Each structure stands twice: as C-alpha cells, then as structure tokens.
Amino acid sequence: MSESSRLKFYCDENRCIGCDGCSVACAEAHELPSGVNRRKVVTLNEGIEGLEYSLSIACMHCTDAPCEEVCPVDCFYIREDGIVLHDKDICIGCAYCLYACPFGAPQFPQDGAFGTKGVMDKCTMCAGGPEETNSHTERELYGQNRISEGKVPVCAAMCSTKALLVGDSNEVSNIYRERVLSAGHGVKTQPYGWNVAYGSKK
Amino acid sequence: MKSKYIFIALIALTSLAFGASDSAIWGKDLIANIAGYDKEGSLHLGKYFTLLQSTYFKPLFFGVLVGVPAAFFIHYAVIGPMIFSHDRKKIYVFTLFNRVVHAISAISFMLIIPTGLVMMFGSFFGGGSFVRLCTEIHAISTLLFIISIVPMFFMWVRWMFIHIDDIKWLMIVGGYLNKDKKPVPAGRFNAGQKTWFWLATLGGVLMISTGTAMYFQDFKLEIIASYGISQIDLLRASAITHNALGIGILALFLVHIYMSVFAIKGAIHSMITGFKEEEEVEILHSSFYKELKEKKEI
Ligand code: HEM
Ligand code: SF4
Ligand code: SF4
C-alpha cells in the first residue's frame, strides 16, 4: 500500500474553534454509550493569549499501528486504504492497545461481567467492522458504515470551519498547503474567533 | 449571608462531582500524555511496552514453557529421581494450617498460570469468548491467591532468611547433579525453596498490585500522581512488570512442580500428610536434621 493512498485525519489548529461538534456528531451517529468517546476535542495552552488552540483527536489510523503490534489476540486488521479496524468478537478487552497508543484512542465501556471493562471500542473512520457491510450486527457493534456508501466520516462532514479534514494523505496535505499559501491574500483562513464574536478590545 | 455559604458549598460539591467523573486516562491528562509520548523527559513507557509486547514477551514465555521442562526431562533421564527409604521413621514437618494454606495457593496457581498463558498466547486460541473467560478466571483466582499468600508469608518467613548453608547449597546445586546420598547443607528450607518463597510472596504482591491496576484501569492514586507519574504510564509500567515477572514466576513454578512431583520421589506426600521420610530430611535438610537431633525431637 503506498503511503499517499492511506486515509488520514488532519485537524487544522488555525481553524478549530473547539466547538465539540465533531465529537457530539460522532457519539450520536454511532449511538455510543456514555463514557465512550471515540473523538475528543482538547484545548491546549488554555487561557494563554496567542498560544491557545484547540484540536480534535481520535484514532489517527497510524502507519505501523502500535496497537496492532501488541494485541495478544491479533484482532486488528488494516484495510487497503489504511483504516485501522479491529474485530470485537475476538478482542478480549485487555487494553494493551491503549498502553501502546500515543493518542489514548482505544476506549473501554464498563460492561463486562462483574462491572469490568468490556471489549475495546475506537474510531472506525466511519468504516464499520468485519461484519457484513451495513448489516444490523455491524451497526450495533461498530456504528455507521459511511465509507461504504461513499460518504465522508461524519465528524469531518459536519465540521463547520472545515478544520477537521479527512482523505488520502496527499489530498489532505494539498488542501493544507493551499490554505497556508493563501493566508493573508483576502481568503478567510482564520476562524471567526473572539474578536468577531465579542468585539475586539483594540 | 447564609445563602452565600450555601452557594459556596454547592460550588464545592459540583466541582467534586466533576472531579470524580473526570477520567484519569482520558481527562485533562490526555493532552500532556499525547504531547509527551516518547518525547525527551517522558518515561518512554509506551515505546518500551510496545517493543517488549510485540517482540520479546511471547518468545520468552514460550522459551521457558518449553525449555524448563526439556531441561528437567534430560535431568530425569540422565540422573534420575532421588528415592528415599520409606522404612524409617517419619518426621512431622507441616502442620494442618501449613498444608491448607499451601493447598489454596496451589489451586490458585494452577488457575492463574494456565489462564495467564492463554491470555499471553491469545491469538493461538483465537481470542474471543474462551480467552475472555480465562481473563475472568485469572482475575477471580487472584482472590484465592491473596488469601493464601498472606498467611503463607507469615507462617514461613522466619525460616526464609539467608544462611551460610544457602551459599554452600548453591555451590553444589542442591546436590541434584548426582545421586550420591551425601548430606546437603540446608535448614528447614533450602536455598531453592527460599528463592521460590520470596518470588511467590513478594513477587506475588507485585503481580497482584500490577494486575489489579490493569483490572480497574481508570482510577487515580494520589501517591503515584504526586511523583508526576500519569495513570497511563502506571498502567504501562504495570503491564511490563506483570509480564516480565510472570516469566520468572512461571519458570520457578515449573521447577517447583518438577522437584515436588518428579525429582524427589514422594516429596508431594509431605504436603498432604504433613510427614517427611526421615532419610529425606537427613540428606536434603541436614542442618535441620542435626538441630532436631540436638533438641532430641527425634
Ligand atoms: C505465568 C504467569 C502469569 C501470566 C502469563 C499472566 C498474564 C496476564 C495478562 C496477559 C494479563 C492482562 C489481561 C488483563 O488485564 O485482563 C494479566 C492480568 C492480571 N494478572 Fe496475570 N499473569 C500471570 C501471573 C499472575 C499472578 C501470579 C497473579 C497474581 C496472583 C496475576 C494477577 C493478575 C491480575 C489481577 C490481572 C488483571 C486481570 C484482569 O484484568 O482481568 N497474574 N495477567
Ligand atoms: S488506536 Fe492508537 S495506535 Fe492504533 S491506529 Fe489508532 S491512534 Fe494509532
Ligand atoms: S483490548 Fe482488544 S484490541 Fe486491544 S489489545 Fe486487547 S484484545 Fe487487542
């Protein structure tokens, strides 16, 4: 698989306004139980003027995914397009993938016997799982399969500032490069932030 | 005035409620953990765990699982078991309490070790419900292990400290390299048994705590946090410790089984009846035998 044909997420920190729309859309679209956050919006340098920015984080569908390397039951599989998925029927909920993951992406609903952690859940890039595509079981276990219908993952589709990008890595970096180049040329690249919403102090 | 205090109390309560619901893994620490992953100044535990788990743990467990029994098979074939006379007197060495505690711990080991191995070689068993069941059994039998290892520690610890006999014992590998019935330097417990005792009890406490940490996963311990160790790094360190120490425990567990069941004919009976053959004590625990003689207890 060539590196450029892999599907990747990218969150443009110049645009993300930390509205949490993506994570809410994700939780609703896939009917996630509370406590499972496949996508999360974090704000860095909170309160420090000029340095504060927000980012939307989920499974990054890593090349050479560390989660896949450590799984004791080998339940991960990586699609042709680079989407990292796993089989919940095989997963034993040991959380090794969480220990290996740099992004804290794997989630563990508290639903096992004796109130213990259940099997792992994470972002599927809206590509479902190993069950029959668009079947009821697939939807129950993994949520919507939008990729099979040619749709963009729901988080990126609804992002109001188009900060959250998804696509093959070449395409995503082209869009980002264009944005950087056109900054300051009359193209709106900054989000309507504090000064528009509340009026500038100066 | 009063309403002001009520208001403050309410604020305090809500922040408590939020604090309680804030995850130690996916809460506010998440950002620092992502930004610091494998960076300079971090503990690099994510990388170490990934490397160890993906390439070293499985082969090491497999090596011990095959290598240790193979070595014993050769020992059994070349040197053979020690056989002691059953005609002489028997010496009462293990009280009923000793034997019950040991039996509980033996049962817990026979549950914990195979189920742990099933998890470690989960892909061989195809994952899914069978391996999940083993995970549950592994966790539940830890309770049995706890209730046996604590009394075991206190009932035997006074004989487990190092003694000059232990050095001598190690020099001749406990006399197991030949079948001569020369008295072996050892007290009530020999150096091998002492090693197993410390590994099973102190190592056991480490296995219990690291296993429990992985089991409960999302909690916060102030002592750990006060050293600047994040919860995810605590879990990573737990997994590394649990699996690395598990290799050692598996190895000595296999040694223990071989000694008690095969290498010394009939040794296992002492843990059932409480009595050891006099000749066995005289040879394998010669210092203990002398002591009993001096005290005129036999
Ligand atoms: C050969 C020895 C052992 C192996 C291979 C082993 C392996 C494992 C593995 C792979 C896990 C992770 C799965 C999980 O978290 O669910 C685990 C968890 C655990 N281990 Fe062990 N282990 C061994 C011995 C022990 C011993 C001696 C104890 C302590 C008595 C112990 C106590 C635990 C506990 C409490 C957990 C958490 C259980 C859970 O999360 O369901 N293990 N062990
Ligand atoms: S779960 Fe973590 S390690 Fe695995 S692909 Fe997603 S981001 Fe990468
Ligand atoms: S929790 Fe499931 S997916 Fe993650 S490493 Fe364990 S078995 Fe594999």
The CATH number that applies at residue A34 is 3.30.70.20
Query: Does B219 touch chain A if contact means CB atoms closer than 8 Å?
Result: no
Q: Please tell me the least confidently modeled range out of A61-75, A146-160, A184-198, B97-111.
A: A184-198
pLDDT of residue A149: 96
Superfamily of domain B2-294: Transmembrane di-heme cytochromes, Chain C (1.20.950.20)
Residue A165 CB less than 6 A away from ligand 2 = no
Question: Residues of A with CB below 8 A from B31's CB?
Answer: 42, 44
Q: Write the pLDDT tens digit of every residue in A97-147.
A: 999 999 999 999 986 555 567 899 999 999 999 999 999 999 999 999 999
pLDDT of residue B21: 54
Closest CA in chain A for residue B126: A73
- Chain A, residues 27-86, CB within 8 A of chain B, namely 37, 40, 42, 44, 57, 66, 69-75
Closest CA in chain A for residue B216: A116
Tell me the domain boundaries of chain B. 2-294
pLDDT of residue B1: 47
Q: Look at residues A68, A71, A78, A88 and name the one whose alpha carbon lies nearest to residue A138.
A: A88
Ligand 2 atom with the shortest distance to the CA of A100? 3
For residue B230, give both structure tokens: 């994040």
Distance (Å) from the alpha carbon of B114 to chain A's nearest alpha carbon: 15
Separation of CA B84 and ligand 2 centre (Å): 60
pLDDT of residue B13: 46
Separation of CA B219 and ligand 3 centre (Å): 20
Q: How confident is the model at residue A167 (pLDDT cuts 50, 70, 90)?
A: very high
Mean pLDDT of A89-100: 97
- How many independent structural domains does chain A possess? 1
pLDDT of residue B265: 87
The boundaries of the domain holding residue A56 are: 3-198
Nearest alpha carbon, ligand 3 atom 8? A71
What's the average pLDDT block by block, 10 residues per block, for chain B (298 residues)? Answer: 54 43 87 92 96 98 98 96 92 97 98 98 97 96 97 98 97 92 95 98 98 94 94 98 98 96 91 95 96 89
Separation of CA A117 and ligand 3 centre (Å): 12
Q: How confident is the model at residue A183 (pLDDT cuts 50, 70, 90)?
A: confident
pLDDT of residue A179: 87
Q: Do B126 and A57 touch (CB under 8 A)?
A: no
Which residues, including other chains, have CB under 8 Å from residue A67's CB and lie 6 or more apart? A76, A84, A86, A96, A97, A100, A101, A105, A106
Residue A93 CB less than 6 A away from ligand 2 = no
Q: How confident is the model at residue A150 (pLDDT cuts 50, 70, 90)?
A: very high
Mean pLDDT of A161-170: 94
Q: Write the pLDDT tens digit of every residue in B176-233.
A: 999 889 999 999 999 999 999 999 999 999 999 999 999 999 999 999 999 999 999 9
In this predicted model, which residue has the larger pLDDT, A70 or A182? A70
Q: How confident is the model at residue A182 (pLDDT cuts 50, 70, 90)?
A: confident
Interface size, chain A vs chain B, as Cβ–Cβ contacts under 8 Å: 103
pLDDT of residue B126: 97
In this predicted model, which residue has the larger pLDDT, A189 or A92? A92
**Mean of per-residue pLDDT scores for chain A:** 90
